[in-house]
């Protein structure tokens, strides 16, 4: 009988389990995300790999969307990540967002300061309110087409200078 070698690696918050079968040289790798906690780190790593500066800078209140809020700076643009416990909770939150007018969230009307675009991947919703086409294209390149997108500027007033811009 062949001996097994097991190793656990944690990089970018992703738990990896490597099992190697010593006598056959066959290796199997399985990636698991622990309740979505790794998703923002994975997203940041993918954005960084695309050649931009990306980092998590703080958390924010997520009402009325829900989940846990993680603010990312992607170069000088703010990108908001809403992280849920699982894919189903994220899908339920996404289903409340009007795909043609993301200002309508279920029974709530949100006055976004910008043109809202939402993407979803697994337990994560991503919101970008900015007007930088390169940033929107970068997010789309990583996550695919947005599932909800406004048709112009948001209903709210322009926002204050963001946390990601240099004074």
pLDDT at 167 over 70: no
pLDDT at 59: 93
The residues, any chain, with a CB within 8 Å of residue 119's CB and separated by 6 or more, are: 125, 126, 139, 140, 143, 144, 145, 146, 147
47 band by pLDDT with thresholds 50, 70 and 90: very high
pTM: 0.75
pLDDT at 33 over 70: no
Give the neighbor-by-neighbor strand order of the sheet with 14-21: 4-11, 14-21, 27-32
Read off the pLDDT of residues 60-93 as tens digits, 9 standing for 90 and up: 999 999 999 999 999 999 999 999 999 999 999 9
């Amino acid at each position: 009988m062949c001996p097994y070698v097991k190793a656990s690696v944690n990089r970018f918050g992703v738990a990896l389990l490597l099992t190697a079968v010593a006598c056959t040289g066959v290796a199997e790798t399985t990636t698991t995300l622990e309740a979505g906690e790794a998703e923002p780190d994975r997203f940041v790593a993918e954005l960084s790999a695309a050649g931009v500066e990306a980092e998590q800078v703080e958390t924010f209140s997520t009402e009325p969307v829900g989940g846990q809020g993680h603010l990312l700076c992607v170069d000088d643009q703010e990108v908001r990540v809403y992280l849920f416990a699982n894919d189903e909770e994220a899908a339920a939150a996404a289903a409340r967002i009007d795909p043609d007018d993301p200002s309508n969230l279920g029974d709530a009307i949100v006055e976004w300061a910008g043109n809202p675009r939402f993407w979803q991947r697994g337990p994560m919703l991503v919101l970008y309110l900015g007007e930088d086409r390169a940033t929107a294209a970068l997010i789309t390149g990583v996550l695919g087409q947005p599932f909800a997108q406004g048709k112009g500027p948001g209903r709210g007033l322009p926002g204050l200078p963001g946390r990601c811009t240099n004074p």
